[in-house]
Structure 1
C-alpha cells in the first residue's frame, strides 16, 4: 500500500477567531513535490436527534449569516475546550429547545469537509425527553419547531432543511422507520 501522507514543512497562521482558525501549510507531497494547503481548524460540534413522544423531530429555526437565510436545524453546538461531546449534547438540547433528556446515545461522528477543515460533528440520539425552558446563548436567536418525518422531507425538498447534520438526522430517522415496519 502506497504512503499518501503529506508532511508539513511550514505552517502560517492567518486568522485566530472565536470559533475557527485558518492556516496555510506548505507540504511535501507523496511524489516529493511541494504543495500548499489552506486549512480551517474547528473544535468540533454535536448535533442532537430528539424525537418527541408524539413522533416529531425537535428542530430550531435560526438565521444563518453565511447562507443569508433562516433554516431549520437539529439542536447543535460547538464543543467547549476539553468538553465531552455527550455532555455538550445534553447542554445544547436544553439551551436551544428547553428539552431535557434522560440519556444520549452516540449515533455517528463524521467530518463535515475534510478537504479543507477538521470540523467533526458527533450526532447523538436523545432518549426520555421532558420539557423545560429554553436558555439560548445571548447572541443566539432560535425558535422551537417540531415536525413529523413527512414534514421534514418536505422541508428538505423546499431547502428550508439544508445543512448536513439535519439532513443526516432526518435520513437516519427515516431509515429507522423503514426498518421498524
Structure 2
C-alpha cells in the first residue's frame, strides 16, 4: 500500500520560539487532496538513553525532578546529543557524566520516537555492560540520585503504573526481550579511553 495519500507537504514555515536548545515551529501543510492545515512542533537535536547493566545483573537508574511535571521520575540515564557528536559518543558521555560509570561493552538497540505528533526528537537506545564506577560530573543545576535495582523491581513498578517515563519503559521492554533471547543485541568494545574510569 502506498503512503502517498498520507504524506503532508510543507507550504510555509514560521519560527515561533528559539530557545537555548529547542525551537518551536508553526508550519502550513497541504494534504494529498489539496486541503490545508497547520502543524506546530518542537525541533529537538535528538537524545540517547542508556540501559546500564552491572555484572551482578542489577540496573543503574536515576531519580530526577522533572520541572514540567512537577515531580521526581525514575529513569534510565539519558541526555541530548551535542552538535557534531555521534550518538554513541553521546551515550558514553552521558553515562559517565550522570552516573560516573564507564562501560567496557556497548550495544545499540535502535531508535524510539517519544512524541512523534509534536516533536522531531528521536532517542537512540544503548545498552552498556562491564561497568566500572567513578565520580559523577553533573552540569550546574543538575541534581540526580542514583538507584541500583533488579529488573524484577523495575518491572513491578511498571506493572503498578508507578514507572511512567516512556524511554525507561521501552528500555525495560528491550532488556526483558534480550534476556529471554527474543531480541538480539550486537555488542562492541568501548573505545579504550571511554572504558577507563581514570580518564577525565
Question: What band does the TM-score fall into relative to the shorter chain?
Answer: over 0.9
> Helix, strand or coil for the counterpart of 2:132?
coil
Tell me how far 1:150 sits from its aligned partner.
1.0
Name the residue aligned to 1:6: 8
Tell me how far 1:2 sits from its aligned partner.
5.2
Would you say the 8 A contact 1:28–1:34 is kept in 2?
yes
Q: Which runs of 5+ in 1 are unaligned?
A: none
- How far apart, in 2, do the equivalents of 1:71 and 1:157 lie? 16
Name the residue aligned to 1:152: 154
Give the number of aligned pairs: 180
Would you say the 8 A contact 2:55–2:129 is kept in 1?
no
Structure 2 counterpart of 1:102, from 101, 104, 126: 104
Name the residue aligned to 1:35: 37
Q: Which runs of 5+ in 2 are unaligned?
A: 183-200
Name the residue aligned to 1:44: 46
> Helix, strand or coil for the counterpart of 2:164?
coil
Name the residue aligned to 2:189: none
Structure 2 counterpart of 1:16, from 8, 15, 18: 18
TM-score (norm 1): 0.94
- How far apart, in 2, do the equivalents of 1:138 and 1:156 lie? 31
Would you say the 8 A contact 1:70–1:160 is kept in 2?
no
Structure 2 counterpart of 1:141, from 140, 143, 153: 143
Alignment of 1:63 with 2:70, yes or no, is: no
Tell me how far 1:70 sits from its aligned partner.
0.5
- In structure 2, the CA distance between the partners of 1:18 and 1:46, relative to structure 1 (3 Å rule), is same
- How far apart, in 1, do the equivalents of 2:113 and 2:175 lie? 20
Q: CA RMSD in A?
A: 1.5
Query: Could you tell which deviates more after superposition, 14-23 or 116-125?
Result: 14-23
Tell me how far 1:6 sits from its aligned partner.
1.7
- In structure 2, the CA distance between the partners of 1:74 and 1:28, relative to structure 1 (3 Å rule), is same
Name the residue aligned to 2:116: 114
